Structure 1
Amino acid sequence: MNTQRRVIHVISHTHWDREWYMPYEAHHVKLVQTMDALLDTFATDPEFKSFYLDGQSIVLEDYLQIYPERRELLQQYVKEGKLSAGPWYVLQDEFLTSSEANVRNMQIGHRDAKGFGPVSKVGYFPDSFGNMGQAAQLLRQAGIDNAVFGRGVKATGFNNSVGDGASLESPFSELVWEAPDGSQVLGVLFANWYNNGMEIPVDPTEAKAYWDHRIASASRYASTPHLLLMNGCDHQPVQTNLSEALRVARELYPEHEFIHSNFDDYMKAVQVSLPPKLSLTRGELRGQKTDGLFTLANTASARVSIKQLNQQNQTLLEKVAEPLATIANGQGKAYPHALFVYAWKTLMQNHPHDSICGCSVDEVYREMEIRFAKSMEVAKAIVIESAKAVGDGVDTSAFEAIGTGAAPFVVFNTSGYEGSSVVTVDVELSRRYFKQSENPVAVAEEVRSRTHGAGYLVNERGVRVACSSEDLGVRFGYDLPDDKFRQPYYCRTVRLTFETDALPGIGYATYAWVPDAGSEASAETGSLLTGDSTLENELLKLTVASDGGMTLLDKRSGQSFAGLGHYENTGDVGNEYIFVQPKGDVPITTHGRAADIRVVENTSYRATLEIVQTLDIPVSADERLAEEMNTMTFIYDRNAGRATETVPLRIVTRVSLERGGKGVRVNSTYDNKSTDHRLRVLYPTDVNATTHFADSIFEVAERETKPSAEWRNPCNAQHMSNFIDVHEAKRGLTIAGKGLNEYEVLLDGRNTIAVTVLRSVGELGDWGVFPTPEAQCLGVNTVEWMIIPHAGRDRVDAYREAHRFPVPVTVSQTGIHAGTLPLSYSFLQWQGDGVLFSSLKTNEERGDWMARWYNVTGQAGEVRLSSPQGGGSYVSNIMEDAGGIAVDGRLPVGKYEIVTVGLR
């Protein structure tokens, strides 16, 4: 510790969880009261210098929802430096929100903050349950050179107490945090948590004891004479007598300087007084060099249904609506910026760590479901209008010669990766609009009598495409024109299912249904079923054993994977934060138990096997758990076990292989009638490797499979965004999920991937007694994932397939008409080894297209791209700034670099 005179920087703040142990509106009321007290303190105490609003601009938004007339007053205080604004919109969980959601959070946080004054340039992560490895690169691209965080580096234990040990990555609160690409920021750890300066006494005797302890604790970890004391905590009211408390401190300790400070002044003071060399910490901060008991990684599996909705919502916005609206903008349709901001904000209100992590009271999740629904309805409306605008510009006149009444439709692939897809689309035929004065019964009968559901499907070349068709009969529909009243109609509807040709990554292909009373759609030109329980295409062969276990042969590499897909059930006497298996609990598995296996789909484009298995599992934990929960027994001291009474857990698994499929799709439905347990699906890889790779925020993070020597947690579950991969030089297995965010690679000699599909718990946990019966996730649940084998060297191709898996294609029916667009087209063609595509959207200020990629390897690469924009392109950043160097079609991408390109 530096022996210079100490400067104690007291920063007033409140860490504001919008919802947690109370519903949102209950917290909202407390926020209004806190802000009222703060504004009154500013007005009455000139020595009360500043207050930090937790790094999130939504705090201002929530307050102005009640007092909109106080905007100018807030703007005044932000401009004077008394209040902070941004840099985030919300304090998100970094691992459970997508890469682009993290970027939109920064973009919208800055956008809103600028409406009040200067944007706070503090990389604030006070309570994230682990920190993403690319944080330093993202912060640097946003013009932020520091990060303040509370978890992931030092040995942090229960209630954030700090331990000692040789394993500590940094002896100081201050360190250099480096992203995989080499970007660095000054990191400041809340070594004594973000409440180490809360409730400072005014009484001299109490103050002396308080400051002796707090100064010593802060000095213990500080590398400079500047000590950080955070005057606040979770939902902490303003300390209105702080000025008096600091006057007392100055009298007691004249040898020190006490400042009512702010982060800007504190950071400047620290940066000029740092020692010559600080510890360097690289990549993710996940607390892996701790005992592992409180990394809170099991929040990745709390309330899986919420994670599924989040995945659907994020994917719909960033992978479907934004790119479709962008290419529609290129066809002259205005880009709906304001609607996107609203949809993203509504979604991100579900992204604070205590919300999306599933560790709040039940009322929170009822409201979150509504927010997801609201955001997705907006996104769907944008998708429909954007797809129609593009489809109406396609020249479909060639279909006129194929057959009378041909009904064209455009199939969009906005994933960024080329590939085929099995599509189900409802095609409407012979619309008959009617007026209010007409008899709808007669209109429906008229359509029924003059139409039929027979016909065939053709692609853009007029070649027939095998498909399944179902005549849905006559159905009601309506249009909402821009220039007249709503227009109801009846039409004949035919539902088609077929496999597309390889669709371009950001583009489309056009098909047409041709009504023909003398023809039938064909789906039986071949079969992927090569045995009673074997599915096979050109790339893969899957065989299901009598107990439901699967063997998968990758024909490209010659590698075979055996014993895949068994389920494992264990008890869980933990809480929403932490999984705890009861002492002596033996897992119950489907291995060796007879399964009912049957064929449920057999067409030329897809075959599906259904596997039905039943496990008899305990109905709940035993009676001890309720008492231990009510008395707040430390979770690792709990002696609760599982009840002796059992109930059936029926699992219906459908495995599907598509003709052009590079992986096996899995759909699993189970009826959960039990509480206090966990269900995982197991995939032995038999890969000889000591590390594995997890999809994360703008990286595929390499992680040690065996935890550190300090690790004591029997469970080593971790986060993944979309997939987990284990590979060696010639063999690899990737499991990609939809809203499945928790995995563990088991130390069982087979490097088995265990993916959590259900975790049932009955309490929030943390600091009080908060029952959460709805977190038991009772009832019918459905989860989806994909099995993608590869040869190790082609792992990035597997990652692209894993990213394409959750992105739905979009179908828009159109008419036969002339147009400026061909029947198939790619709006953004790109190539690049080791590079993954992230997003395509339109910049609000300039109207430029903004496209983003990132390198997931340690080797420099490039993106080779072409676009019909024709106005040139330039290098930008996550904030979409203009003025970067021009791109001539070949964009260098450094190792692990995130690159954003503006297309004029």
Structure 2
Amino acid sequence: MLTIHVVSHTHWDREWYLTFQQFRFRLVELIDQLLALLDADPDYRYFMLDGQAIVLEDYLEVRPERKEDVRRYAQEGRLLIGPWYILPDEFLVSPEATVRNLLIGERVCRRFGPKMRIGYLPDPFGHIGQMPQILRGFDIDAACLWRGVGEAPTELRWRAPDGSEVLLLHLRDSYSNAAWLPADENGFVQGLAELRDSLAPYATTSHVLAMQGTDHTRPRADLPRLLAAADARLEDTRVVHSTLPRYLAAVRDELGERESRLPVISGELRSSQRAHLLPGVLSTRMWIKQRNHACETLLERWAEPFSAIAAHLQPEILNLKPLVDRAWRYLLENHPHDSICGCSVDQVHREMVTRFDWCEQIGEEVTRRSLQAIVQQINATTPAIVVFNPSSSPRTDLVSVEIEPPPEPDQPLLDEAGRIVPYRTLGRRRREFFGMEVDRDGFAFLVAQFGSTGGRVQEQLTFRHAEIAVEEGTAHVHIVVSQREGARPGPFDEALEQAQALLTDESIQHYSVRVVEDEGVTIQFVARDVPPIGYTTYTLRVGATLAVAHAVAHAVAQKPVGATLAVAHDRATLAVAHKPVGATL
């Protein structure tokens, strides 16, 4: 005798051709109706909430008073929940996001009842090869899906590249093959008979699966009566109101040792033979994919690992894990396939921007606080530049950093071993104290005043250097000063000579004078062999110029290829051009 397992369910696209909030009205009405039906009719035995636990949170935000009813039916096994948090598109999210999806789904389910131990993936547009391996990691040894399998029986073994296997329940005729059965008894019985006859030739046991539900469908109150009629009228056929776990148990019980001899399908499931895969969605609204990747990288490579290290260093004051978890939830809310695939109405994707923003804001702030906490534990005798590596292997790369206040012009950058590190200046952030436009007589007065004060612009401003450029009859003079206590005066006599030379140039008729201070300077250098998920420190050391100069000169003398050495004797400074990295110190 053949048994038809009728599984009542809904497939809940959280947002698609309507927004999340618009669909939530329908979700609340659906679960209200479902709970009332479960209360009123013990013969309406089971209902599956699409394998995703987020629908429980979405419903209970509006109906918090129904929490105990939901918990009761989940614990009784009449309401099937989990194991996922959301149903993702598997190819557009990271492996860690898939793992986190199952992890959060399990945590949500624990608040209500047991999770469904089947990797239910009814509608994603194909499936990743590692899915059996991931499911096995959560003690799930069976999957149930529709798309991507192609021409195949209803039971298979699905093998991941690492050899992990799950029993695959193939929804050969889709997750809604019993969704539109007629309400009249004769039509209902005939529909079930046709469903049975379509699946029976491809079943490896005497059990076939009728998925009574589809996108956003509500439970049918007439189902118990119609199932009883079909059970009575279909010859050699038993009709039962069932669940996916009950169907799986029946199939496995009948297969026995034959399960290990079922056909094997390996790796990615990308066949469109029996179900279209919509491959165009892989590049639709590309900005969604780009922002998602940036957020995943921020959480996986920066916020989470470094916040864990920071929490270990300062356990009494730094617990950022709840915020990281919240960021993950915002990100996962953008992972349902109709969301991340970019195939929904425009408003849906506009609302995704806010979730990406929230995820990014939390991730950036968690990262900033975590790195700051780690830096506070570093035993550095002088202010240091700390370069972090979020990769899982050592890394050498260009690093750009703004230093505030800026270093002295001849201040060397040293690594942890005291070796000089070439760097170049990319830009400066400046504050202007005052400026003026003057003619030749006005500029002559300023030069005389400048000379009489020995370069002191104002009492609290120390002269550092002058920058002069002439363009189309106008001399642009920037006098760079410093307010820092102990700042070393610059080459005043040289600047005075340059200014006086401007007065003798008859082509110059106008002078633009600005007094500015460098508040910050951005430098770039090569950070070498930064350890994985770790850091390396660099210092700009005052007073080390001569010692470093001798060290560099010796290194250049030993290895002249790729470097040149030039000494400007009038200023007693050392200039090193390092050709391999294109930097000059």
Report the TM-score range of the alignment, normalised by the length of the smaller protein: 0.7 to 0.9
- Which residue pairs with 2:429 in the alignment? 472
Instruction: State whether structure 2 residue 29 is matched by structure 1 residue 33.
Output: yes
Residues 1:367 and 2:348 aligned together: no
How is 1:34-433 mapped onto 2 (pairs within 5 angstroms)? 34-154=30-150, 168=151, 170=152, 172-253=153-234, 255-274=236-255, 276=258, 277-287=261-271, 290=273, 294-333=276-315, 334-397=318-381, 399=382, 407-429=383-405
Distance (Å, rounded) in 2 between the aligned partners of 1:21 and 1:220: 37
Summarize the Cα distance change of 1:603–1:71 in structure 2 as closer, same or farther, 3 Å threshold.
farther
CA distance in structure 1 between the aligned counterparts of 2:13 and 2:240, rounded to whole angstroms: 27
Amino acid at match of 2:98: N
Contact kept? 1:452, 1:492, Cα under 8 Å: no
Per-residue CA shift, 1:493-534, capped at 9, x if unaligned?
222222111111121001234579x99xx9xx9xxxxxxxxx
1:560-599 paired onto structure 2 within 5 Å: none
Runs of 4+ residues over 4 Å off in structure 1: 451-456, 602-607
Deviations 1:692-722 (A, max 9, x none): xxxxxxxxxxxxxxxxxxxxxxxxxxxxxxx
Structure-1 separation of matches of 2:65 and 2:524? 55
Q: Distance in 2 between matches of 1:63 and 1:509?
A: 49
Residue 530 of structure 2: which of 500, 503, 511 is its match? 503
Q: Is contact 1:473–1:492 with CA below 8 Å preserved after alignment?
A: yes
1:705 alignment counterpart: none
Q: Contact 2:307–2:321 (CA<8 Å) still a contact in 1?
A: no
Shift of residue 353, structure 1, vs aligned partner: 1.1
Equivalent pairs: percent with the same residue?
A: 38
Determine the structure 1 residue equivalent to 2:436. none
* Paired residue type of 2:89: D
1:200–1:242 Cα contact (<8 Å) kept: no
In 2, Cα distance between equivalents of 1:251 and 1:455 = 92
Deviations 1:533-580 (A, max 9, x none): xxxx9xxxxxxxxxxxxxxxxxxxxxxxxxxxxxxxxxxxxxxxxxxx
**Is the CA contact (8 Å cut-off) linking 1:420 and 1:502 kept in structure 2?**
yes
Contact 1:202 1:248 in 2 (8 A): no
Per the TM alignment, residue 452 of structure 1 is displaced from its structure 2 partner at its CA by 7.6
Instruction: Report the Cα distance in structure 2 between the residues aligned to 1:605 and 1:60, rounded to whole angstroms.
Output: 59
Cα distance in structure 2, aligned partners of 1:603 and 1:227: 73
Task: Give, as a single letter, the amino acid of the residue that structure 1 aligns with 2:58.
Answer: D
Cα distance in structure 1, aligned partners of 2:148 and 2:44:
33
- Residue identity in the other structure for 1:196: N
What SS does the corresponding residue of 1:116 show, helix, strand or coil? coil
Higher relative contact order (CA 8 A, sep 6+): 2
1:97 to partner: Cα distance: 0.6
The structural deviation recorded for 1:99 is: 0.9
Which has the higher Rg, Structure 1 or Structure 2? 2
Separation in 1 of the partners of 2:581 and 2:85?
44
CA RMSD of aligned residues (A): 2.9
- The answer on whether the counterparts of 2:155 and 2:204 sit within 8 Å (CA) in structure 1 is yes
Amino acid at match of 1:96: L
CA distance 1:153–1:424, shift in 2 (3 Å): same
Consecutive unaligned residues of structure 1, counting only runs of 5 or more, are: 155-167, 400-406, 431-450, 476-489, 526-536, 538-601, 608-657, 660-904
Does structure 1 conserve the Cα–Cα contact (< 8 Å) formed by 2:8 and 2:213? Answer: yes
Label 1:491 to 1:66 Cα distance change in 2 as closer, same or farther (>3 A): farther
**Structure 1 position 252, deviation (Å):** 2.3
Amino acid at match of 2:222: N
Distance 1:348 1:287 in 2: 26
CA distance in 2, matches of 1:364, 1:452: 53
Which residue does the alignment assign to 1:22?
18
Structure 2: which amino acid aligns with 1:346?
Y
Give the alignment's TM-score, normalised by structure 1.
0.49
> Partner amino acid for 1:194?
Y
Superposition deviation, residue 297 in structure 1: 2.5
Assess, with a 3 A threshold, how the Cα gap between structure 1 residues 605 and 506 changes in structure 2: closer, same or farther: farther
Q: Residue 287 of structure 2 aligns to which amino acid in structure 1?
A: S
Corresponding residue for 1:898?
none
Give, as a single letter, the amino acid of the residue that structure 1 aligns with 2:357: A
Q: Distance in 1 between matches of 2:41 and 2:527?
A: 69
CA distance in 2, matches of 1:473, 1:85: 59
- Tell me, in whole angstroms, the C-alpha distance in 2 between the residues paired with 1:177 and 1:379: 36
Taking the TM superposition and a 5 Å limit, the aligned residue runs for 1:334-733 are 334-397=318-381, 399=382, 407-429=383-405, 455-469=411-425, 470-474=427-431, 492-514=519-541
Residues 16-41 of structure 1 show CA distances to partners (whole Å, capped at 9, x for unaligned) of: 11111222211122111111111111
What amino acid maps onto 2:292 in structure 1?
Answer: N
Correspondence list, 1:827-842, <5 A: none
Q: Deviations over 1:143-194 (max 9, x none)?
A: 111000111111xxxxxxxxxxxxx3x3x11011111222111101110100
Question: Which residue in the other structure is 1:552 paired with?
Answer: none
Choose between structure 1 and 2: higher helix proportion. 2
Contact 1:453–1:494 under 8 Å retained in 2: no
* Aligned ranges 1:805-844 → 2 under 5 Å: none
CA distance in 2, matches of 1:313, 1:49: 42
Deviation at 1:227, TM superposition (A): 1.2
Label 1:514 to 1:152 Cα distance change in 2 as closer, same or farther (>3 A).
Answer: same
User: For residues 453 and 194 of structure 1, do their structure 2 counterparts lie closer, same or farther at Cα, with a shift above 3 Å needed?
Assistant: farther
- With normalisation by structure 2, the TM-score equals 0.75
Q: Say how many residue pairs are matched.
A: 468
8 Å Cα contact 1:125/1:147 also seen in 2 = yes
Flag structure 2 segments of 5+ consecutive residues without an equivalent.
Answer: 433-516, 553-561, 563-576
One-letter identity of the residue aligned with 2:92: L
* C-alpha contact 2:415 2:538 (8 A) present in aligned 1: yes
Which amino acid counterpart does residue 385 of structure 2 have in structure 1?
F
Q: SS of the counterpart of 1:272?
A: helix
Aligned to 1:559: none
- Residues in 1 aligned to 2:119 and 2:365: alpha-carbon distance in whole angstroms: 35
User: What displacement does 1:299 show?
Assistant: 1.6
Q: CA deviation at 1:260?
A: 1.0
TM-superposed deviation, 1:603: 8.8
1:335 Cα deviation (Å)? 4.2
Q: 1:208 to 1:330 in 2, by over 3 A?
A: closer
Q: Could you tell me how far 1:362 is from its partner in structure 2?
A: 1.3
Distance 1:313 1:606 in 2: 31
Helix, strand or coil at the partner of 1:223: coil
Deviation at 1:235, TM superposition (A): 1.2
Q: Distance in 1 between matches of 2:62 and 2:579?
A: 59
CA distance in 2, matches of 1:260, 1:142: 28
Answer whether contact 2:205 2:254 (CA < 8 A) is retained: yes
Question: Aligned partners of 1:144, 1:192: CA distance in 2, in Å?
Answer: 24
